[in-house]
Amino acid sequence: MTYFRHAAVVAAVVAGATTASAQTTIITHEPVESRTVVTTEPLQLTPVQRRTIYRTIVRERVVPAEPTVEYRIGARVPDSIRLYSVPREVAVEVPEIRSYKYIVVNNRVVLVDPATSQVVEEMVD
């Protein structure tokens, strides 16, 4: 009888161990640097913010982008185009564009989402 009791205890322990291992979950985390943040909300700028951005950026001395490429909202900017960081003074006044980059083409300021290389906004004087 003792033999059957020991066998039952061993069987219960083995069954419990098998069930416990089936419930084990392994969670891995992706490094922060490789995460891509994609903006899904359209950029909403007031006329005053648009003027501030345009007037500040056109004073910067940057190399204009190729005018032969079509830069319209939603279009991808070629990898060969150099993107510039938003100047600090603009980022302070209009913080919602801090994470974007820009190019200047044909007297227009074009904001680009660096995560997707898509044009998100364009400003003209």
Is 29 domain-assigned? no
Instruction: Give this prediction's pTM.
Output: 0.65
What pairs with residue 109 in β-bridges? 104, 123
Answer with the residue of higher pLDDT: 37 or 105: 105
Sign of the torsion formed by the C-alpha atoms of 47, 69, 96 and 37: positive
Domain CATH for 98: 3.10.450
Confidence band (pLDDT; 50, 70, 90) for 119? very high
Average pLDDT, the chain: 78
Number of domains in the chain: 1
Is 54 domain-assigned? yes
Is 47 domain-assigned? yes
pLDDT per residue as tens digits for the range 10-69: 555 555 555 544 555 565 555 544 444 444 567 889 999 999 999 999 888 888 888 888
Q: Which H or E element spans position 14? A: helix 2-22
